[in-house]
């Protein structure tokens, strides 16, 4: 018989078998009875209409079994296609062609696991079967059939929990990140709860709990609740707690608190930590704040740099001895400066008429001056030109001394 004719004959027989099998599907279905104590039994339920159910009468391939209702955890009923498959399977020869035909039937009826079994049997019978190899995910690499998994393993990759291939170190890093995220979420709940206690009778219990925090994973929670905290005493508590933890995120947050918090004690506590810790980047952070549009912030940056005691701040402090700021002036009963606008610029200007005007004004910064004299031991008042000349002479002296050494 020609191959095409043989294939058509197989398809006709297969279709007839499927029709015959699916008609009495209810009688063919075998259920799986999962036992509470572990294990399972597969068979047909003989008493499906018993109500209320007191027992399961099960007909298995080796005989009848009776189970009480308390012995059965759950019952799984297979689909009609699976029942048809089990009846149909013996009709196909254990050859590459026979197993391929059955695998194709499984594909058509969405029986993925069963199809996998027959594909693997095909390559046992005929190792070079191209379609079966491709269906199973094989590639022909350097003269050998290899699965995708084998190729990935040869490249040093491993499967993560989600089944994705990754470098082992990446899997470890992602797992560590997931654990850290989980811990951070737990701390958010704890800080929220303890913060609530501070307003009531449980305040004496909450304070020691904050004092005992030593886990860096608590930092995001503390920073988060610091944002909207109205009570200055609680903000000071958060700062004290964070300062003990000493992470990079803490240093960045405390830099902002040292500049922006409304409470003097919060700013002072934040700055004291940064000065003592000598945290990298703190000096650069405050140097940038010398360029702030608000004269108050410029002076706060000067205070901070005075505490940092880092010579890198000398030139920026000289440049910030006198800074120019924009103000809105109300015309009428005296010229009152109402608010600060942009940063440094040049020249005074206004809009004329009797309405508000924007003016620019140079401001001496006493805290910047104090930091500069403290760092250098020199004093040229607010004469920036004299300070720059002095700094140049100091550098020349240092260069001469370096050459002599």
| CB contact at 8 A, 316 and 285 | no
Whether 386 and 291 map to the same domain: the answer is: yes
| Structure confidence at residue 197 (pLDDT) | 96
| Structure confidence at residue 182 (pLDDT) | 96
- Cis-peptide into 88, omega within 30 deg: no
| CB contact at 8 A, 307 and 276 | no
Whether 291 and 335 map to the same domain: the answer is: no
Exposure of 123 in the CB half-sphere (CA atoms within 13 A)? 18
Which residues touch 330 (CB under 8 Å, ≥6 apart)?
336, 338, 356
| Structure confidence at residue 124 (pLDDT) | 93
Whether 104 and 46 map to the same domain: the answer is: yes
Whether 120 and 81 map to the same domain: the answer is: yes
| Structure confidence at residue 338 (pLDDT) | 53
Burial of residue 207, with CB atoms counted within 10 A of its CB: 0-12 exposed, 13-18 middle, 19 or more buried = middle
Whether 120 and 216 map to the same domain: the answer is: no
Residue 159 placed within a domain:
no
| Structure confidence at residue 355 (pLDDT) | 66
Whether 237 and 374 map to the same domain: the answer is: yes
- CATH no. for residue 70? 2.30.30.100
Whether 318 and 332 map to the same domain: the answer is: no
Whether 135 and 13 map to the same domain: the answer is: yes
For the chain, list residues with pLDDT below 70.
1-30, 331-355, 398-405
The parent domain of residue 139 ranges over 3-147
Q: Is the pTM of this model over 0.85?
A: no
Whether 104 and 131 map to the same domain: the answer is: yes
Whether 99 and 245 map to the same domain: the answer is: no
Whether 369 and 358 map to the same domain: the answer is: no
CA distances from 13 to 95, 135, 311, 385 (A): 17, 25, 93, 103
| CB contact at 8 A, 118 and 99 | yes
Burial of residue 297, with CB atoms counted within 10 A of its CB: 0-12 exposed, 13-18 middle, 19 or more buried = middle
CA 30, CA 77: separation in Å to the nearest integer?
7
Whether 303 and 355 map to the same domain: the answer is: no
| Structure confidence at residue 354 (pLDDT) | 57
Count of residues in the chain? 405
- Total domains in the chain come to 3
- CATH no. for residue 262? 1.25.10
């Amino acid at each position: 018989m020609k191959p095409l004719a043989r294939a058509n004959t197989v398809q006709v027989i297969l279709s007839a078998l499927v029709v015959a099998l699916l008609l009495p599907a209810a009688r063919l279905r075998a259920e799986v009875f999962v036992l509470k104590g572990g294990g399972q039994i597969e068979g047909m339920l003989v008493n499906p209409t018993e109500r209320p159910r007191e027992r399961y009468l099960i007909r298995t391939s080796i005989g009848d079994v009776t189970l009480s209702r308390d012995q059965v955890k759950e019952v799984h009923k297979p689909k009609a296609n699976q029942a048809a498959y089990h009846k149909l399977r013996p009709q196909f020869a254990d050859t590459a062609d026979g197993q391929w035909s059955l695998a194709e039937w499984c594909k058509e009826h969405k029986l993925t696991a069963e199809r996998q079994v027959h594909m693997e049997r095909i390559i046992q019978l005929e190792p070079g079967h191209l379609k079966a190899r491709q269906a199973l995910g094989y590639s022909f690499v350097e003269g050998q059939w290899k699965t995708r998994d084998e190729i990935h393993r040869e490249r040093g990759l491993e499967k993560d929990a989600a089944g994705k291939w990754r470098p082992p170190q990446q899997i470890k890093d992602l797992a560590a990140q997931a654990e850290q995220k989980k811990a951070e979420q737990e701390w958010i709940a704890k800080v929220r709860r303890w913060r609530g206690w501070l307003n009531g009778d449980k305040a004496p219990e909450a304070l020691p709990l904050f004092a005992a925090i030593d886990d860096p994973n608590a930092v995001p929670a503390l920073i988060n609740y610091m944002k909207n905290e109205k009570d200055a005493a609680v903000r000071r508590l958060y700062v004290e707690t964070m300062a003990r933890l000493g992470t990079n995120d803490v240093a960045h947050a405390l830099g902002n608190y040292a500049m922006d918090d409304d409470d003097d004690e919060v700013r002072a506590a934040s700055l004291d930590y940064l000065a003592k810790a000598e945290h990298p980047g703190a000096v650069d952070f405050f140097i940038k704040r010398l360029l702030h549009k608000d004269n108050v912030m410029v002076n706060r940056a000067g205070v901070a740099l005075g505490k940092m005691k880092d010579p890198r701040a000398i030139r920026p402090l000289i440049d910030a001895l006198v800074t120019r700021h924009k103000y809105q002036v109300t015309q009428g009963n005296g010229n009152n400066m109402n608010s600060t606008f942009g940063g440094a610029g040049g020249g005074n200007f206004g809009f004329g008429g009797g309405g508000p005007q924007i003016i620019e004004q140079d401001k001496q910064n006493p805290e910047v001056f104090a930091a500069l004299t403290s760092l250098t031991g020199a004093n040229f008042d607010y004469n920036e030109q004299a300070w720059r000349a002095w700094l140049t002479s100091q550098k020349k002296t240092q260069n001469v001394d370096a050459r002599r050494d």
